[in-house]
């Protein structure tokens, strides 16, 4: 692993596109569907897109995105991962709807959601490729 949680928080604080906030017990930064929180006793990453009812701390695999790639690239990779998961869920719902109720309005709604997610996925892939290509230029 290249980065520590402290490194990630420092990078997040320097991110011009991120939303910074002061909380009663610490500080937080949000960008690309992830929140990093710093408290006196710990730093944690929250995946804002994984659960609909409450926010959950990143899984071990999700933490690896950040510890390996840093704040900015890790957040984009997490966003791509979340988008892929949501696309899979939409595909399953479309298949289920086509094979059961056959409600055209609902199918069209699901297809519109899928299109939106595909657009989001494409945008994040472009961002990721820009970061990768900038990294190669800096190394040369």
Task: Convert the pLDDT of each residue in 76-86 to its tens digit.
Answer: 999 999 999 99
Has this prediction a pTM greater than 0.75?
yes
Three-state SS at 92: helix
pLDDT, mean of residues 124-139: 78
How far apart (Å, rounded) are the C-alpha atoms in residues 68 and 130?
17
The residues spanned by each domain of the chain are: 5-139
CA angle 37, 38, 41 (to 5 degrees): 130
Structure confidence at residue 134 as a pLDDT band (50, 70, 90): confident
Residue 135: predicted pLDDT: 67
pLDDT, mean of residues 101-129: 94
Helices (H), the chain: 5-14, 60-69, 71-99, 104-139
Q: Please, is 64 exposed, middle or buried when counting C-beta atoms within 10 Å of its C-beta (0-12, 13-18, 19+)?
A: middle
């Amino acid at each position: 692993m290249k980065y520590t949680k402290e490194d990630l928080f420092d990078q997040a604080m320097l991110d011009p596109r991120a939303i910074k906030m002061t909380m009663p017990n610490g500080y937080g930064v949000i960008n690309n569907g992830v929140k990093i929180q710093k408290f006196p006793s710990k730093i944690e990453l929250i995946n804002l897109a994984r659960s609909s009812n409450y926010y959950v701390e990143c899984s071990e695999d999700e933490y690896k995105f950040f510890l390996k790639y840093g704040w900015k690239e890790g957040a984009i990779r997490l966003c791509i991962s979340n988008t892929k998961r949501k696309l899979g869920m939409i595909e399953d719902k479309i298949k289920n709807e086509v094979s059961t109720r056959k409600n055209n309005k609902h199918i069209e709604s699901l297809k519109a959601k899928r299109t939106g997610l595909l657009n989001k996925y494409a945008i994040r892939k472009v961002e990721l490729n820009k970061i990768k290509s900038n990294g190669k230029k800096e190394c040369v």
